[in-house]
Structure 1
Amino acid sequence: MNLFKIVKESVTVKQAAALYGLPVTSTWMVRCPFHEDHTPSMKLNDTYYYCFGCGATGDVIDLTAQLFGLSSFQAARKLAQDFGLSPDKPPSGAVALPKPPSLPSDAQQEEIFYCLRVLHDYRYLLIRWQTEFAPLSTEEPLDDRFVEALHIPPRIFKEMTHLTQQRQKLDQLLTGIGPLNSKKRAAEISELLDGYIPAVEKMRTQLKKYSTAFTSTKAENEKLKKKNKKLSESLEEANYESVLKKLEDAKLQREYQEALAVLERIPPEVLEEYAKPKASRRTAEL
């Protein structure tokens, strides 16, 4: 029997990867040994492997050949020796693979690799968006493509935008409020607070989920602005992505802190009115 056929029918890519020391995970994703890979980007299947980072792909013989710098024939011989296979006798049941009922057709294989290439291209598109659409300051609105590239759900920013709009309405109602007109505005402010306070609490929970620290950001923002001007020419990619993430988090922090700050301006008599059941609140005077 042909050596190549024996090896391919007897040894899976996963078995070879495990034997030769690739640190596989439960999802059979590994750091690609053929390029500088910081996160697992190579997927191991039984009959082939594919790297979403560099595009490396092949079967179990190709994997072995690339790992050890061998020719295809040398790699097949190594696999046969390491797994106790012989061209003169059937493969051992311990390593024999069940023969697949049918192999993918050429058209199916072409479609599979097309899909993998699309995913590969999308990954690099996200990396490019992190640079091309990055904000120059924490005050600049975030581009949707930049948000998508950093993987924080866009709905978080939409909810923050809505919360900011509510804050602005509350801020307008509180502007110029005093002992003479606080009762007049109490009902209207209380109605707004019915939705505003739960929204602030929800945002606090979501920001904690996405590891956004609630600390003073003014000094940090100034440093980030200066760093951002030099990113493309002086920072390594890992540090660059870290700073961009801080810029994004800083914007969320600032808007959240502003949402909290406006609550501190509410007079005690208005808060007293808000604490009452809705049905017993005063109707705002016209």
Structure 2
Amino acid sequence: MGRPSRQIVNLAAPAQPAPAADDALRAAAVVLGPMLRMLLASGVDYTRLAAQLKPLILEQARIELLRTGQADTDSALSALSGVHRKDVRAWRQGGLGDRVAHEASISSQVFARWVQDPLYRDRRRRPKPLARHGEEPSFETLARSVTRDVHPYTVLAELVRLGLVQVQMVKGVETVLPNREGFVPPPGSREMLDLFGANLSDHACAAVGNLLGQDPMLEQSVFADGITDESAQALSELTRKLWAQVRSEMIAEALRRHETDQGRDGATHRMRFGAYYWSQEPDLPVPRRHSAKS
């Protein structure tokens, strides 16, 4: 007698149809373009990228199977991802590669409190220069208000390394001067890469969730073409002013709710709210070079 067929249980058609495969691939290619530019500039070639993609697609395939109530067997993972079963087994033996959510760095938390706490701001609601030592408001008390596990000197050294603060003598007092532009790590730094990955990943999660019919998330933009470089620069300056206003209000509310939610059941959620601005000249056609035939 043959093996009885498996029963299909807990499977239901999605509430919203997914995009057609070819359409989804074309959209992904547009998104991947800037990512590939960054990878190539960093010395990552196709071979290294392909090796990294295999565990990533397996991880996402496993998440999708579990989300839809299916068992994440080797066969199911192979069928959904297109990865050979022997590679699936090797991936399991090497660990499931679950993503670990990284908390915001201590330096970014300290700078966020500096920006928002009225005790550490000037009359124009900007982070004010602080004496390095002494009673509050000082940098020492600012750092200790965020964490007592990391020494204020260590936090200060990291902020100096990132170019976010300067330490100068002001009227005979060692003073920490903040960067007025906010928490913006230098280009190419590990901190900039961490922000890059976290920001774009969460933005993509919101967009993909909306595309697949999940609970709607805010993911909108304003765009225009046919404008001059002067207009593009003026709009860029406007976005920075608007972001400064919105950021201040959002940080205040987020800090208030974070402090209120400490110790409460269900305080496991995280959020991210951001903004971006991009402008460019029209893409110029690149002449195709024909290689000489041997």
The answer to whether TM tops 0.5 is no
Answer 1 or 2: which has greater helix percent. Answer: 1
Instruction: Name the TM-score, length of structure 2 as normaliser.
Output: 0.24
TM-score, normalization: structure 1?
0.25
